[in-house]
Structure 1
Amino acid sequence: EFEYFVAVIMGDEMKKEHQRQRTVSSISHASKKTKYKSLIQLRKDIGVFEGVSIIIGVIVGSGIFVSPVGVLKYTDSVGLSFVMWLIAGIFSTTGALVWAELGTTIPRSGGEYIYIMKTFGSMPAFLCLWITFILIGAVATAANSMIFAQYILQPIFGSCEVPVTAVLITANLGIMTLGAINCYNVQWATKMAIVFTVSKVLALLIIIVIGGVYLIRGNTESFVDPFSGSGFHTASIPMAFYQGFWAYSGWNYLNFLTNEMKNPEKNLPLAIILSLTLITVVYLLVNVAYLAVLSPQEILLIGQSSAAVAVNFADRTMGVMSWVMPIFVGMSVFGSMNSELLSLSRLTQTGAEEKQMPEVLAMVSYKHLTPMPAVIIITLLTILFQFYRNAFYLIELAGFAFAVIAAMAVCCLLYLRYKCPDLPRPFKLPIIVPVLFLLADLFIGGLTIYQQPFDSFISLCLMLLSIPVYIIFIAWTKKTEIID
């Protein structure tokens, strides 16, 4: 039997309001809650190695195995595609460093949500929570679970199409297994992140080594006149960028786990720098390997089917052992799902602690010291979205939504630099770094609106839907409590 205790962290205004309204019984309750809060906390089990594993676990999912097709499609040349991969890597690394400063300045779990909450207040923070929880988090995890099931079942069904029912059952079993592990022991979840990180890095190293062998043998046709046919059209730039950026998405997730990190002031920026540098280098080498084996035309043809580039790469180079690659892709996505669930459950818990989600989601298992209710709700939402056929379309919309969140988070950093210059900052960037990141983010967002006005409008409507939800369920509830 599990017992739960709520560890609710209240802001200054809520504390003052509580002091005005408290009674003798509430004083007694508060003292008990303070006692339990000091006893029941999440374990600090995440060091540098675990942090690097979590970041790589989130980022290296299906993207590097699939998105080279999209980058090549929108750039029309090998050389420009490498430029876009490098730009996406630099952009992601810069953003991750901005998050590292925010994470060490405000050392609390919750990522950009808690930074916006502490800087700009409740309403903007709820917008961030809404976008991350609904658009980016649960939908992306659901889509990844479907991709995991598709590739893990492919060797069983061979050239036949995998039945939808089999995909759904396998996806459900996968996310429920991860949910149970994350409920039971956070150490199991972090160790699993390490195991799957090793497996996906192994898969990428196999691709790099095989590609290197083909290059040594003289397979360099794809790299002759690499910028021939480059498409510098304004309309294609943001699309090529987002295709590459998707493969890097997830660099902000470790900030959701700050409370569970050992020495976050030192380990958070170190884990971010190590993981993003490694991923950028590996991604570039993997793309070289793909093009050493497959021609640009063959890679573009892959885009007309649901296969990953890595699977076609294996069919060409690994012979009877080609069945191994779909397993590796499936394991890679499974590891990404685990890291997403681990991080998103902490965001949900933080939102509940701030009274912006049901209070039950702030509870921690007394026996296992894990945010069990938050893990369960994320798992259930993921299963629900698995039955929504247009989940991948929502993921495309989420790219623009994250650009909005990123802009808000960088504004937090700049605002704190101006308003609180003496605030302790164990990790501090030159001011030009966040400014350039903000300008690049706004530029890409503007190009997206120009290129995809309807899709951007839909994404904006989904974000604005958070306003009536906030007014009815949060702002009005607080007003009612004050009246009472």
Structure 2
Amino acid sequence: MGFCKKGDKGSAQITKKVELKKQITLLQGVAIIIGIIIGSGIFVSPVGILFHVRSVGMSMVMWVICGIYNTLCALCYAELGASIPQSGGEYMYIKKAFGDFPAFICLWINFLLICPVGIAAACLIFSTYLIKPIFPDCDPPQPAVRLIAAVIICFLIAINMRNVKWAAKMQVVITASKLIALALIIVIGLLYIGRGEIDNFQNSFDDSDYSVGALAISFYSGFWAYSGWSYLNFLTEELINPNRNLPLAIIISMSVVITVYLIANVAYLGVLTPIEMLASPAVAVTFAEKTLGVMTWAMPILIALSVCGMINGTALSMSRLFWVGAREGHFPAPMSMINMKQLTPMPSLLVILILSLLMQSSNDIFYLIEMEGFGFASVLTIVLAGQAWLRYKQPNLKRPIKLPIVLPILLSLVSLFIVVLTVYQKPHESGLAIGLVGIGVIVYVVGCRWKNKPKAIQGKIDWVTNVIQKLLLVVPQDDPDAVNWD
């Protein structure tokens, strides 16, 4: 199959505009956000807050505070998304506010720390719980876990490369499945409470730890439990009516997540004591063992499906971020290209696949997750500061949504505090993350600032680009010389 220019004769012609289509609906947008936020956390270990504040009542208060904080951050992103309706999310917002280099650093952090680490960890969790019923009394064998993890990421990336609508529809189904699982937990828990199992709620604020350190670390735990609300902003150009549907999807999603998280925690405590929750490696599984009897095996499967939604949503969203970064000249040119038939950013998706498979080989994936958390808090601090700066820099920018200026300023300071706390609590992880950012500075200078490369080097770069185009049938968006093929 060869590429043809317009007007070529002697071949059957098919005309098709090469671009990412606006085809993600409001429902699918809500499913993407909920599907990413509700991953394994609420099923596996919703006890970080309880562990630090030491009381049921205070843990509920902190869940609400963390939910409100994340919702306010999400609303700030809604303002930015409506004002700058371009795919790429935070990368484009930082670029518009602070310029080229800070935007590249944001892109680099997502490229190395946030995207592949998150997907790799989620794949390992998925495979662990998928085969857990086969090994009820011991840990599943690691070779099997890694093999299944590799298979699921390959499958989901293939779906995303084949068809955006398929990926979005699958996200709706997966999100519905995880909400059904949570509904099952909630109904059973409330039935126990209705039968009088309320001992865990008596004197619920006794022994609370109100120290600054305990509250700060518990907030840190809850902050990550809600993370994922920013990912729809990476898909703005593919969202139908983004000025309306982006903020609406964020508001609906965060309202659902906060409500579900709170009720689920109440339901857990209707069946399990705080001591049992703190001792459980997977609270939902322990819950199922006490309530579902012979159907206990179903809970690990539902957890695996929940995690699958996080993987799919992350791949769908982050591939657009890297595609936009390459389109802006910050990543290699092939990553800015779209498959001519499927109209998907195939090279970016393949890069995510390769990086995620490499990350899966790590012996301590949770060490990498802590680096991911540091990266996200750093990016969030810059984005919110940039939002405040844009109010001064571009006061006449059209803003369909306009929040009080004090809000992004305050939230940026809180995010900065989280970054500082991370450096204090996890100096080794944050130090390594800073070192990787330092490598990004070198990549930026060599790859982006060094414009006049020797002909020999540039020739090899062009040759590789050409080979990738032919292998993957990809072209730049709206390339007038590549919209037909035979």
Common fold by TM > 0.5: yes
Superposed, 1:212-223 pairs within 5 Å as: 212-223=190-201
Partner of 2:381: 407
Shift of the alpha carbon at 1:99? 0.6
Tell whether 2:420 aligns with 1:446.
yes
SS of 2:338 mapped into structure 1: strand
Query: Contact 2:382/2:412 (CA < 8 Å) preserved in 1?
Result: no
Of residues 397-406 and 132-141 in structure 1, the stretch that sits farther from structure 2 once superposed is 397-406
Tell whether 2:30 aligns with 1:56.
no
Tell whether 2:336 aligns with 1:362.
yes
Q: Aligned letter for 2:399?
A: R
Superposed, 1:230-269 pairs within 5 Å as: 230-269=208-247
Kindly provide the CA deviation profile for residues 313-366 of structure 1, in whole angstroms up to 9, marking residues without a partner as x.
000111101111100000000111000000011111011101111100111011
Shift of the alpha carbon at 1:454? 4.1
Aligned residue among 259, 265, 270 for 1:281: 259
Query: Contact 1:2/1:366 (CA < 8 Å) preserved in 2?
Result: no
Tell whether 2:269 aligns with 1:312.
no
Superposed, 1:385-396 pairs within 5 Å as: 385-396=359-370
SS of 2:197 mapped into structure 1: coil
Partner of 2:96: 118
Partner of 1:148: 126
Aligned-CA RMSD value: 2.2
Q: Aligned letter for 2:437?
A: M
Question: In the aligned structure 2, how far is the partner of 1:156 from the partner of 1:477?
Answer: 56
Partner of 1:129: 107
Partner of 2:322: 348
Tell whether 2:198 aligns with 1:198.
no
Of residues 204-213 and 456-465 in structure 1, the stretch that sits farther from structure 2 once superposed is 456-465
Question: In the aligned structure 2, how far is the partner of 1:353 from the partner of 1:387?
Answer: 30
Query: Structure 1's 156 and 452: CA in aligned 2 closer, same or farther, altered over 3 A?
Result: closer
Shift of the alpha carbon at 1:271? 0.2
Kindly provide the CA deviation profile for residues 133-160 of structure 1, in whole angstroms up to 9, marking residues without a partner as x.
1101101100000000000111122223
Aligned residue among 48, 51, 56 for 1:78: 56
Shift of the alpha carbon at 1:100? 0.7
Query: Structure 1's 37 and 409: CA in aligned 2 closer, same or farther, altered over 3 A?
Result: farther
Query: Structure 1's 2 and 384: CA in aligned 2 closer, same or farther, altered over 3 A?
Result: farther
Query: Contact 1:67/1:244 (CA < 8 Å) preserved in 2?
Result: no
Shift of the alpha carbon at 1:122? 1.3
SS of 2:402 mapped into structure 1: coil
Shift of the alpha carbon at 1:4? 12
Aligned residue among 95, 98, 108 for 2:76: 98
Kindly provide the CA deviation profile for residues 128-184 of structure 1, in whole angstroms up to 9, marking residues without a partner as x.
011111101101100000000000111122223211111111111100100110000
Shift of the alpha carbon at 1:293? 0.5
Question: In the aligned structure 1, how far is the partner of 2:262 from the partner of 2:342?
Answer: 41
TM value normalised by structure 1: 0.89
Query: Contact 1:67/1:243 (CA < 8 Å) preserved in 2?
Result: no
Of residues 440-449 and 252-261 in structure 1, the stretch that sits farther from structure 2 once superposed is 440-449
Query: Contact 2:160/2:167 (CA < 8 Å) preserved in 1?
Result: yes
Kindly provide the CA deviation profile for residues 67-117 of structure 1, in whole angstroms up to 9, marking residues without a partner as x.
322221111111121122112111111111111111111110001011111
Unaligned runs of 5+ in 2: 7-13, 459-486
Shift of the alpha carbon at 1:200? 0.3
Of residues 364-373 and 239-248 in structure 1, the stretch that sits farther from structure 2 once superposed is 239-248
Shift of the alpha carbon at 1:225? 1.2
Shift of the alpha carbon at 1:479? 7.7
Kindly provide the CA deviation profile for residues 259-314 of structure 1, in whole angstroms up to 9, marking residues without a partner as x.
10011011000000000011001000000011111001111111xxxx31101000
Query: Contact 2:113/2:433 (CA < 8 Å) preserved in 1?
Result: no
Partner of 1:417: 391
Count, aligned residues? 449
Question: In the aligned structure 1, how far is the partner of 2:16 from the partner of 2:330?
Answer: 23
Partner of 2:164: 186
Of residues 430-439 and 183-192 in structure 1, the stretch that sits farther from structure 2 once superposed is 430-439
Kindly provide the CA deviation profile for residues 396-426 of structure 1, in whole angstroms up to 9, marking residues without a partner as x.
1222221111111112211111121111111
Query: Contact 1:242/1:399 (CA < 8 Å) preserved in 2?
Result: no
Question: In the aligned structure 1, how far is the partner of 2:445 from the partner of 2:198?
Answer: 60
Query: Contact 1:4/1:363 (CA < 8 Å) preserved in 2?
Result: no
Query: Contact 2:66/2:223 (CA < 8 Å) preserved in 1?
Result: yes
Tell whether 2:141 aligns with 1:163.
yes
Query: Structure 1's 127 and 480: CA in aligned 2 closer, same or farther, altered over 3 A?
Result: farther
Query: Contact 1:101/1:425 (CA < 8 Å) preserved in 2?
Result: yes
Aligned residue among 403, 428, 436 for 1:462: 436
Q: Aligned letter for 1:465?
A: I
Query: Structure 1's 426 and 115: CA in aligned 2 closer, same or farther, altered over 3 A?
Result: same
Kindly provide the CA deviation profile for residues 184-219 of structure 1, in whole angstroms up to 9, marking residues without a partner as x.
000000000000000000001111111100101111
Question: In the aligned structure 1, how far is the partner of 2:307 from the partner of 2:3?
Answer: 33
Aligned residue among 284, 293, 296 for 2:274: 296
Partner of 1:337: 311
Partner of 2:300: 326
Question: In the aligned structure 2, how far is the partner of 1:400 from the partner of 1:169?
Answer: 29
TM value normalised by structure 2: 0.88
Query: Structure 1's 3 and 353: CA in aligned 2 closer, same or farther, altered over 3 A?
Result: farther
Q: Aligned letter for 2:245?
A: N
Query: Contact 1:211/1:293 (CA < 8 Å) preserved in 2?
Result: yes
Tell whether 2:437 aligns with 1:437.
no
Shift of the alpha carbon at 1:478? 6.0
SS of 1:364 mapped into structure 2: strand
Unaligned runs of 5+ in 1: 6-27, 29-35
Query: Structure 1's 125 and 2: CA in aligned 2 closer, same or farther, altered over 3 A?
Result: farther
Question: In the aligned structure 2, how far is the partner of 1:409 from the partner of 1:271?
Answer: 20
Q: Aligned letter for 2:221?
A: Q
Question: In the aligned structure 1, how far is the partner of 2:333 from the partner of 2:222?
Answer: 38
Tell whether 2:6 aligns with 1:66.
no
Question: In the aligned structure 2, how far is the partner of 1:70 from the partner of 1:55?
Answer: 22
